[in-house]
C-alpha cells in the first residue's frame, strides 16, 4: 500500500501545526487505538486546537498507524477512529477543526519515506495545504537543521520520531508527555519567540 493516507483538505496562508495523534490529542493505548470507542481525548486538546486556528495556524495531524499493513484493521476502521477524534475535539470547542490528517500505514520494515521520523507525511501535508510540489528532501541527520517552509511551522509530538520528522523539515519541535499532550505546550507554541525544544537527531 502506498502512503500516506490523506483525510481532509484545506489551504494554509500562514504557519502549519503538524501534530501527532496518540499521546498528543488523545490518550495512547498499549496495542493501539483499535476502535472509535477506545479513543479518549486528552482534556484541553480541543481548546488548544481552537487557539492555534485563532492565531492563523492550519492543522495537519500526522500519525503512524502500522496496524493497517499488519492486517489488524482496515482503512475504513481508521476513518471511523478519525471521525470520532474530530467529533470529540469539536464537542470541546466548535472551532477545533482539523484541516487534514495524514496517516502512514507502514511498518518499520517497509522502509517507506512517510513513517516518522522520515518527513514524508509533513512534506505531503505541506504540498496539499500550500499547493506546492516540494520534493522529499535528502535528510542529512548529521548535518545542520534544514530551513523551514515557514518560520512558525511547528511539530508537536510525544516521541523522538515525531521530533525527527519535524526537525527534518526545519519546523519548531515541541515534545510533550503522553499524559498531558498538546495542552502542555500550547502557550509555548503560540509564543512566536519560542524556538521549540532542542533536538539532536544523532541521539535518537
The set of catalytic residues is 20, 22
Q: What angle do CA 35, 38, 41 make, to 5 degrees?
A: 120
Q: For residue 109, what are the contacts with CB-CB under 8 A and spacing of at least 6? A: none
How many CB atoms within 10 Å of residue 82? 22
What grid cell was written down for 140? 542529512
Whole-number Å distance between alpha carbons of 50 and 52: 5
Pick from 68, 54, 61, 72: which is nearest to 26 by CA?
A: 61
Residue 190 CB contacts under 8 Å (≥ 6 apart), including other chains: 51, 52, 55
Cβ atoms of 47 and 157 within 8 Å: the answer is no
Grid cell 523539515 is found at 169
Beta bridge partners of 22: 26
The CA–CA distances, whole Å, from 161 to 2, 33, 49, 66 equal 20, 19, 22, 14
Amino acid at each position: 500500500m502506498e502512503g500516506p493516507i490523506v483525510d481532509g483538505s484545506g489551504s494554509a496562508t500562514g504557519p502549519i501545526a503538524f501534530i501527532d495523534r496518540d499521546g498528543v490529542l488523545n490518550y495512547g493505548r498499549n496495542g493501539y487505538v483499535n476502535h472509535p470507542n477506545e479513543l479518549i481525548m486528552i482534556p484541553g486538546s480541543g481548546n488548544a486546537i481552537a487557539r492555534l486556528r485563532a492565531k492563523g495556524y492550519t492543522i495537519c495531524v500526522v500519525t503512524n498507524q502500522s496496524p493497517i499493513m499488519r492486517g489488524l484493521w482496515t482503512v475504513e476502521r481508521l476513518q471511523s477512529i478519525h471521525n470520532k477524534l474530530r467529533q470529540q475535539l469539536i464537542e470541546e470547542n466548535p472551532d477545533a477543526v482539523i484541516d487534514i490528517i495524514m496517516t502512514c500505514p507502514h511498518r518499520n520494515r517497509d522502509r517507506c519515506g512517510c513513517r516518522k521520523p522520515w518527513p514524508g507525511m509533513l512534506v505531503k501535508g505541506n504540498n496539499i495545504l500550500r499547493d506546492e510540489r516540494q520534493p522529499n528532501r535528502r535528510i542529512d541527520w548529521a548535518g545542520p537543521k534544514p530551513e523551514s517552509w515557514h518560520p512558525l511551522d511547528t511539530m508537536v509530538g510525544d516521541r523522538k520520531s515525531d521530533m525527527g520528522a519535524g526537525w527534518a523539515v526545519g519546523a519548531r519541535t515541541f515534545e510533550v508527555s503522553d499524559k498531558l499532550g498538546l495542552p502542555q505546550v500550547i502557550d509555548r507554541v503560540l509564543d512566536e519567540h519560542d524556538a521549540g525544544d532542542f533536538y539532536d537527531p544523532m541521539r535518537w
